[in-house]
Amino acid sequence: MSEDPLSELPMRPDTEKVNLIGLPQAALENFFAGIGEKPFRARQMLQWIHQRNADDFDAMTDLSKGLRAKLGDSAVIRLPALLSEQASKDGTIKWLFESGAGQAVETVFIPELARGTLCISSQVGCALDCAFCATGAQGFNRNLSTAEIVGQVNYANRVLPSRPNGKPAVTNVVFMGMGEPLANYRNLLPALDLLLSDFSYGLSRRRITVSTSGIVPQIHKLGDDCNVSLAVSLHAPNDELRNYLVPINRIHPISELLDACWAYAAKRANRFITFEYVMLRNINDSIEHAHELANLLRDKPAKVNLIPFNPFSGNEFRRSDSKVISAFQAAMREQGIVSTTRKTRGDDISAACGQLAGKVSDRIRNRLSEKQTKVATA
Ligand code: SAH
Ligand code: SF4
């Protein structure tokens, strides 16, 4: 019998092996302790996977042959499986990744001169059912694992050319793809750990943005646990309208949500919270709405990001006219609120905010009649 008990383990199928892409440093240290290895192996592994883009233990030449064989028996480095890639004329790239059971999630890369932003998904579908969102219209399927969340960043850095300074293509990560990240907190937190760690992606807190529709207890938790940049999908300046557009508001109304936001900002030396506000024609885009919104945010560490509504198949809502959006933004600024309008990128490939729906068009169609009734009665 060999002296090393692990070498006697029968080969396990890949699906049972642990996917090391999803393990942050502490979990990797545990993993290595479990196979009788020193903690420093965790740092080596992080660098191999996330910085040197290895996907095969045999490429890890500073590990002994014995260790590489042991790793091969118990672990894998598995990237998300690509279903399709689309490139927009504005340079935006959208990837569709397989997520099992005929479902898919989407990841969008938005190149700009000064940065490369990756918009990633956190769930397959979403349970929160915001009235104007294609992901919400498809319903909830499941949470993505940490490996599937971080795998999107890993994949992008592997396939995209490095930046002119030799750094990886992805400089900023926003959780604005499919799903509600704070409803998948357990898998989100280790993903943030990996994005922040110098042994993996080394991104600063201000280059990572978690966008939430307002799950208040998790906002408090995130403030304590990680405190990355926070964006909040407000979309309405009063509870009546927000109850309809963002149904989670019926559980956590605006005053409770804003209190959580100011507490979050206070924990990170008054850094601004971004409030997203989708511009829906004749629904939430009047000057009165702008004044009501300004009253909520005045003298607070808040900035407003207006998002022109991106239509998706069959939806009743319409985008506000660009003149209306400019007037809304001017009204906000007159009230002393920092306000910008998001450039729509990638809409020719349905990669713009709220258009991400994976391959579930049938389910969307089924839900449309229900949505149209809601809009008509609003
Ligand atoms: N679930 C999170 C993050 C994903 S959505 C959240 O709701 O914040 C990212 C942003 O796109 C949110 O502000 C969301 O409200 C917005 N959005 C959703 N559908 C949209 C659409 N059709 N047009 C424009 N923005 C949309
Ligand atoms: Fe979910 Fe965000 Fe879409 Fe609302 S806007 S349904 S929270 S993904």
- Active-site annotation holds for 353: yes
pLDDT value of position 366: 37
- In testing the pocket of ligand 2, which one of 124, 126, 141, 175 has its CB within 8 Å of the most ligand atoms? 126
pLDDT tens, position by position, 156-214: 999 999 999 999 999 999 999 999 999 999 999 999 999 999 999 999 999 999 999 99
- For residue 362, name the pLDDT band (cuts at 50, 70, 90): very low
pLDDT value of position 351: 67
Of the candidate CATH numbers 1.10.287.3510, 3.40.50.620, 3.20.20.70, 3.40.50.2300, the domain formed by 81-377 belongs to 3.20.20.70
Of the chain, the end-to-end C-alpha distance in Å amounts to 74
- For residue 130, name the pLDDT band (cuts at 50, 70, 90): very high
Q: Is it the case that residue 10 has pLDDT exceeding 80? A: no
Mean pLDDT of the chain: 90
Does residue 184's CB lie within 6 angstroms of at least one atom of ligand 1? no
**Residue extent(s) of CATH 3.20.20.70 domains in the chain:** 81-377
pLDDT value of position 232: 98
Does residue 136's CB lie within 6 angstroms of at least one atom of ligand 2? yes
CA of 130 to the centre of ligand 2 (A): 5
Ramachandran angles phi, psi of 325, nearest 5°? -65, -45
Q: Is it the case that residue 361 has pLDDT exceeding 50? A: no
pLDDT tens, position by position, 207-266: 999 999 999 999 999 999 998 999 999 999 999 999 999 999 999 999 999 999 999 999
pLDDT value of position 124: 96
Angle at 298 between CA 292 and CA 302, to 5 degrees: 105
Which of ligand 2's atoms lies nearest the C-alpha of 233?
5
3-state secondary structure of 250: helix
d(CA 341, CA 344): 9
Q: Is it the case that residue 8 has pLDDT exceeding 70? A: no
- Active-site annotation holds for 106: yes
- 109-116 contacts at long range (C-beta below 8 A, 24 or more positions apart): 109/156, 109/160, 109/169, 109/170, 110/345, 110/346, 111/169, 115/171, 115/172, 115/207, 116/160, 116/163, 116/169, 116/170, 116/171, 116/172
pLDDT tens, position by position, 308-355: 999 888 788 999 999 999 999 999 999 999 999 988 777 777 766 666
pLDDT value of position 101: 87
CA of 343 to the centre of ligand 1 (A): 14
Structure tokens at 77: 């480095």
Mean pLDDT, range 28-35, rounded to an integer: 96
pLDDT value of position 225: 95
pTM (predicted TM-score): 0.91
pLDDT value of position 295: 98
Q: Is it the case that residue 22 has pLDDT exceeding 80? A: yes
Structure tokens at 367: 């839900």
- Percent of the chain residues past pLDDT 90, beyond the cut: 81
pLDDT value of position 309: 95
Compute the half-sphere exposure of residue 125: CA atoms within 13 Å on the CB side of its CA: 17
Does residue 176's CB lie within 6 angstroms of at least one atom of ligand 1? yes
Q: Which residues contact 108 (CB under 8 A, 6 or more apart)?
A: 92, 93, 94, 95, 118, 119, 177, 346, 351, 356
CA of 307 to the centre of ligand 1 (A): 9
- For residue 374, name the pLDDT band (cuts at 50, 70, 90): very low
Mean pLDDT, range 365-376, rounded to an integer: 35
Mean pLDDT, range 300-304, rounded to an integer: 97
Bridge partners for 209 per DSSP = 174, 229
pLDDT value of position 315: 82
Q: Which amino acid, 159?
A: V
**Residue extent(s) of CATH 1.10.150.530 domains in the chain:** 18-76
Does residue 233's CB lie within 6 angstroms of at least one atom of ligand 1? yes
pLDDT value of position 182: 98
Which of ligand 1's atoms lies nearest the C-alpha of 235?
15
Q: Where is pLDDT greater, at 154 or 10? A: 154
Does residue 212's CB lie within 6 angstroms of at least one atom of ligand 1? yes
- Fold classification of 18-76 is DNA polymerase; domain 1 (1.10.150)
3-state secondary structure of 178: coil
pLDDT tens, position by position, 93-123: 999 999 988 999 999 999 999 999 999 999 9
3-state secondary structure of 68: helix
Does residue 180's CB lie within 6 angstroms of at least one atom of ligand 2? yes
Which of ligand 2's atoms lies nearest the C-alpha of 133?
3
- For residue 12, name the pLDDT band (cuts at 50, 70, 90): low
